Chain A
């Protein structure tokens, strides 16, 4: 009989943990107060006076992206997809980061544009900018709202803190330090947060690896997990796929992501990744704060170095967690007890695997699933059923996977299949391995990641609001003092709106999913517009605008006419196919997303070219100088040592990334 309820353990905080948290908050706010006196002009506030060293903007570049969704989500994917999750880094980030540093930064930093939408105005026209500025501003507000919501929910679940207090306090702290010190304060705090996250997660990975007996131990445990998922749960994947990032990408049915290499490389590696890293003002803003052109170009390249190694820090904890027994892991003791039924089954069907498991003292599947979850990954519990236990933990009824008619889905042994809550991987690892003291540090790292995501969105919002919406449409030619004032109050407004979004998410639980979908539609075609804008001087304003709108519509159309396997019509797609079956069923949601992006990008690319050729170029060559590749002098790198030059730095990062891909293929 499998368990029907599950208890999430309570994190007990001691004085030492509180001391560490308080020190962190003291420094975060201290930076804001110290920087206040340097904020004299709007350029200081929004662009840090273009004065910051490359290593600082580089770490802020990576940290602004290292929000909680990233840390929690990547560990969750590590447990779900194994080593293939590293594609989000090695394919889905590094090439685009190198591209933006070497080829695109000269246009952003070198032109008079102060923001990404403003670049669109200078290069194309007002309507293209308005489209981008409005959608981007809305997106930042909702993203930081999601951060607040996720943080409030997590802290409530683990520590029993009140949701409202969490949202108010975290919002207030981020507000205070960005209000006082503007972008510089956000950037400096992002650097602090970067180091905290690194120092908070290294011991976690170290202890987990030591526990399972190193990388070979991880591989053995994931081999058993792969066997269990393919043989017992009948999932469509090769049992070996969790420890290979490329080997099973030839066929969507043999890897757990359900994507094939073309969709992966084009959808994730090209459209989505370049669309994010090259056009998202949240990250580009960090590079634009650098002290000179060379530092601006180096920013994403310096950021790429830690980004390349982050899978070790954020994905590996998830891969470890899935194979560690929730009660007492036996890895450290010799195994003498009677073999379990599942172990005997492995011995019968796959003696080679059984030998490997025995050699690495891997706990049996029965031990791993003893509490209802799998490894340290807890099962999903029904939110309505949660009650507090006398020990302070939260207990709830386990959710099982169901057929569309409500009948539970059974595995090969006849047991109902549990729905896992992968998002709790990191907290469960912290709880398992960190004693008091270290636990405070781990929690601090988690909160730092939530706050860096929020602050990044807030500073991007106040800049786009003030420069691209307020100064352009509401009050033109305002004195600089007024812009600085507006920026400060836009920060307040942005945070208040984010809080509103966080509460909207508690009320309507799929509002955030719908919004994220809308933003995905708006963003998917964007890179086509920028690519044509920067490298094809003939691209016109009408072409760009109509291309963007058509690309967005193409994304909507594609998503509305297709469905991922096993999903019902609704938020997952298929809503436009009213009277007929969907046109195509993808093996997974991820595959559907990648292909939505590919269709959107291609549509935008083609329509922009066609409309541009049919319309007149209204901008003179003189106006396009500094905005288009062929009309811009190449940035000179005289007197800069070779190891600081973007081309060499980018080449080196790319080479190491390729080696990493080969090692973990």
Chain B
């Protein structure tokens, strides 16, 4: 099986992270953040998801690269 699952997971989390982060940034200070106890959770969590996505993608690409070398 040559499809590495980490690549789609990485890509999905990067996309979702970017969307959350950008949306959070553009709505900073909005009233709805009273729900998340005054914190702009969209920015924080968007960044966390982005980071996770990048790590998954890198590992996935590295594995695929090594497999091709062989």
Q: Are B16 and A435 in contact (CB under 8 A)?
A: no
What are 28 A-B residue pairs whose CB atoms fall within 8 Å in the complex? A16-B19, A16-B20, A16-B23, A20-B20, A23-B12, A24-B16, A30-B8, A38-B1, A52-B1, A184-B1, A191-B5, A191-B9, A192-B5, A192-B9, A195-B9, A199-B49, A203-B41, A211-B37, A432-B35, A433-B36, A434-B36, A435-B30, A435-B36, A435-B41, A437-B27, A437-B42, A438-B20, A438-B41
Residues of B2-57 at the interface with A, using a CB-CB cut-off of 8 Å, are 2-3, 5, 8-9, 11-13, 15-16, 19-20, 23-24, 27, 30, 32-33, 35-37, 41-42, 45-46, 48-49, 52
Q: In the assembled complex, which residues on chain B have CB atoms less than 8 Å from the CB atom of A436?
A: 23, 27, 32
* 6 A-B pairs with the lowest CB-CB distances in the bound complex, closest first: A435-B32, A437-B42, A16-B23, A27-B12, A188-B5, A437-B23
Q: Are B19 and A20 in contact (CB under 8 A)?
A: yes
Q: Are A437 and B12 in contact (CB under 8 A)?
A: no
Residue in B closest to A444 when the chains form the complex, CB atoms: B16
Known A-B contacts A435-B32, A437-B24; A35 and B3 likewise in contact (beta carbons under 8 Å): yes
Q: Are A23 and B36 in contact (CB under 8 A)?
A: no
Known A-B contacts A191-B9, A438-B45; A20 and B35 likewise in contact (beta carbons under 8 Å): no
Q: In the assembled complex, which residues on chain B have CB atoms less than 8 Å from the CB atom of A661?
A: none
Residue in B closest to A34 when the chains form the complex, CB atoms: B3
Q: In the assembled complex, which residues on chain A have CB atoms less than 8 Å from the CB atom of B36?
A: 203, 207, 433-435, 438
Which of A30, A188, A192, A332 is B37 in contact with, Cβ under 8 Å?
A: A332
Q: Are B8 and A192 in contact (CB under 8 A)?
A: yes
Residue in A closest to B49 when the chains form the complex, CB atoms: A199
How many A residues face the partner with a CB closer than 8 A?
35
How distant is the Cα of A49 from the Cα of B52 in the complex, in angstroms? 29
Indicate the member of A31, A51, A210, A438 with the most B CB atoms within 10 Å: A438
Which of A48, A199, A210, A434 is B35 in contact with, Cβ under 8 Å?
A: A434
Residue in B closest to A206 when the chains form the complex, CB atoms: B41
Q: In the assembled complex, which residues on chain B have CB atoms less than 8 Å from the CB atom of A199?
A: 13, 45, 48-49, 52
In the assembled complex, the CB of A650 is this many whole angstroms from the nearest CB of chain B, namely 25
Q: In the assembled complex, which residues on chain A have CB atoms less than 8 Å from the CB atom of B2?
A: 38
How distant is the Cα of A437 from the Cα of B30 in the complex, in angstroms? 13
How distant is the Cα of A457 from the Cα of B8 in the complex, in angstroms? 24
Q: Is A66 an interface residue (CB 8 A)?
A: no
In the assembled complex, the CB of A462 is this many whole angstroms from the nearest CB of chain B, namely 19
Which of B11, B30, B32, B37 is A27 in contact with, Cβ under 8 Å?
A: B11
In the assembled complex, the CB of B14 is this many whole angstroms from the nearest CB of chain A, namely 10
Q: In the assembled complex, which residues on chain A have CB atoms less than 8 Å from the CB atom of B30?
A: 435
**Chain A interface mostly:** helix
How many B residues face the partner with a CB closer than 8 A?
29
B→A interface (CB under 8 Å) = 1-3, 5, 8-9, 11-13, 15-16, 19-20, 23-24, 27, 30, 32-33, 35-37, 41-42, 45-46, 48-49, 52
Mark A9-48 against chain B: 1 for CB-CB distance below 8 A, else 0. 0000000100110011001001100110010000000001
Q: Are B16 and A441 in contact (CB under 8 A)?
A: yes
**Chain B interface mostly:** helix
Residues of A332-378 at the interface with B, using a CB-CB cut-off of 8 Å, are 332
How distant is the Cα of A23 from the Cα of B23 in the complex, in angstroms? 15
Q: In the assembled complex, which residues on chain B have CB atoms less than 8 Å from the CB atom of A34?
A: 3, 8
Q: Is A56 an interface residue (CB 8 A)?
A: yes
Q: In the assembled complex, which residues on chain B have CB atoms less than 8 Å from the CB atom of A20?
A: 16, 19-20
Q: In the assembled complex, which residues on chain A have CB atoms less than 8 Å from the CB atom of B41?
A: 203, 207, 434-435, 438
Q: In the assembled complex, which residues on chain B have CB atoms less than 8 Å from the CB atom of A434?
A: 35-36, 41
How distant is the Cα of A52 from the Cα of B4 in the complex, in angstroms? 10
Starting from the known contacts A23-B15, A192-B5, 14 additional A-B residue pairs (CB-CB under 8 Å) come to A20-B16, A24-B12, A27-B12, A34-B8, A38-B3, A195-B13, A199-B48, A203-B45, A332-B37, A432-B35, A435-B42, A436-B23, A437-B24, A438-B45
Q: In the assembled complex, which residues on chain B have CB atoms less than 8 Å from the CB atom of A49?
A: 1
How distant is the Cα of A191 from the Cα of B8 in the complex, in angstroms? 11
How distant is the Cα of A435 from the Cα of B30 in the complex, in angstroms? 10
Q: In the assembled complex, which residues on chain A have CB atoms less than 8 Å from the CB atom of B8?
A: 27, 30-31, 34, 188, 192
Q: Are A23 and B19 in contact (CB under 8 A)?
A: yes
Q: Are B1 and A437 in contact (CB under 8 A)?
A: no
Residue in B closest to A332 when the chains form the complex, CB atoms: B37
Q: In the assembled complex, which residues on chain A have CB atoms less than 8 Å from the CB atom of B23?
A: 16, 436-437
Residues of A424-442 at the interface with B, using a CB-CB cut-off of 8 Å, are 432-438, 441
Q: In the assembled complex, which residues on chain B have CB atoms less than 8 Å from the CB atom of A188?
A: 3, 5, 8
Q: Are A438 and B52 in contact (CB under 8 A)?
A: no
Q: Are B12 and A433 in contact (CB under 8 A)?
A: no
How distant is the Cα of A195 from the Cα of B57 in the complex, in angstroms? 14
How distant is the Cα of A441 from the Cα of B48 in the complex, in angstroms? 13
How distant is the Cα of A102 from the Cα of B8 in the complex, in angstroms? 32
Q: In the assembled complex, which residues on chain B have CB atoms less than 8 Å from the CB atom of A207?
A: 36-37, 41
How distant is the Cα of A213 from the Cα of B63 in the complex, in angstroms? 43
Q: Are A48 and B52 in contact (CB under 8 A)?
A: no
In the assembled complex, the CB of B36 is this many whole angstroms from the nearest CB of chain A, namely 6
In the assembled complex, the CB of B60 is this many whole angstroms from the nearest CB of chain A, namely 12
Known A-B contacts A20-B19, A27-B12; A435 and B35 likewise in contact (beta carbons under 8 Å): yes
Q: In the assembled complex, which residues on chain A have CB atoms less than 8 Å from the CB atom of B5?
A: 31, 56, 188, 191-192
In the assembled complex, the CB of A130 is this many whole angstroms from the nearest CB of chain B, namely 33
Residues of A593-644 at the interface with B, using a CB-CB cut-off of 8 Å, are none
In the assembled complex, the CB of B28 is this many whole angstroms from the nearest CB of chain A, namely 11
Residue in B closest to A192 when the chains form the complex, CB atoms: B9
In the assembled complex, the CB of B37 is this many whole angstroms from the nearest CB of chain A, namely 6
Residue in B closest to A199 when the chains form the complex, CB atoms: B49
In the assembled complex, the CB of A51 is this many whole angstroms from the nearest CB of chain B, namely 5
How distant is the Cα of A210 from the Cα of B39 in the complex, in angstroms? 11
How distant is the Cα of A19 from the Cα of B15 in the complex, in angstroms? 10
How distant is the Cα of A211 from the Cα of B38 in the complex, in angstroms? 11
In the assembled complex, the CB of A217 is this many whole angstroms from the nearest CB of chain B, namely 13
Q: Are B37 and A435 in contact (CB under 8 A)?
A: no
In the assembled complex, the CB of B48 is this many whole angstroms from the nearest CB of chain A, namely 8
